[in-house]
């Protein structure tokens, strides 16, 4: 079963590009999680981890660019949240490729929990500004 499933009520932001990119992120997270908990080859898990993190970084940059373009007041606080997750991801990525950490169930749950909380608490709030 998928770790995370996009639905309008919990994840819809009313901003087209954000919803589209969130759906791609969810798919990449589900792929990584399935590989990690089913004991796929380590190299395969590493590729899925890199793909997810690259997509997260691109998505955050896209949101930040759009928020700045509209002089959105919540930009700085929002970017702080992005930066915190990017730092966690970069740390995990480095450790994973050094053979010092694995992608565990807890890692999957942590990223799912972050998305489930960040999207309603931060992303949904920029809708009016970005759609103006
Ligand atoms: Fe987002
Ligand atoms: Fe965000």
Question: Is 6 part of a structural domain of the chain?
Answer: no
d(CA 86, ligand 1 centre) in Å? 13
pLDDT in tens, 47-88: 999 999 999 999 999 999 999 999 999 999 999 999 999 999
Question: Is 24 part of a structural domain of the chain?
Answer: yes
Question: Is 4 part of a structural domain of the chain?
Answer: no
d(CA 22, ligand 1 centre) in Å? 6
Structure-token pair, residue 94 = 């480095």
| Domain harbouring 45, CATH code | 1.20.120.50
Domain coverage including residue 60:
14-130
d(CA 55, ligand 1 centre) in Å? 11
pLDDT of 1 higher than 80: no
What total of structural domains would you count in the chain? 1
Question: Is 121 part of a structural domain of the chain?
Answer: yes
CA distances 58 to 63, 64, 106, Å, are 9, 10, 24
DSSP string, 34-78: HHHHTT--HHHHHHHHHHHHHHHHHHHHHHHHHHHHTT-TTHHHH
Q: Minimum-distance ligand to the CA of 64?
A: 2
């Amino acid at each position: 079963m998928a770790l995370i499933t996009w639905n309008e009520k919990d994840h819809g932001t009313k901003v087209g590009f954000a919803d589209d990119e969130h759906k791609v992120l969810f798919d990449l997270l589900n792929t990584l999680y399935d590989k990690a908990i089913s004991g796929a080859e380590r190299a395969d898990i590493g590729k899925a981890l890199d793909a997810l993190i690259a997509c997260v970084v691109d998505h955050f940059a896209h949101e930040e660019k759009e928020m700045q373009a509209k002089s959105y007041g919540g930009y700085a606080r929002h970017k702080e949240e992005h930066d915190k997750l990017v730092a966690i991801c970069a740390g995990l990525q480095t450790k994973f490729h050094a053979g010092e950490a694995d992608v565990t169930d807890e890692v999957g749950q942590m990223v799912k929990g972050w998305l489930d909380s960040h999207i309603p608490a931060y992303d949904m709030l920029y809708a009016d500004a970005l759609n103006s």
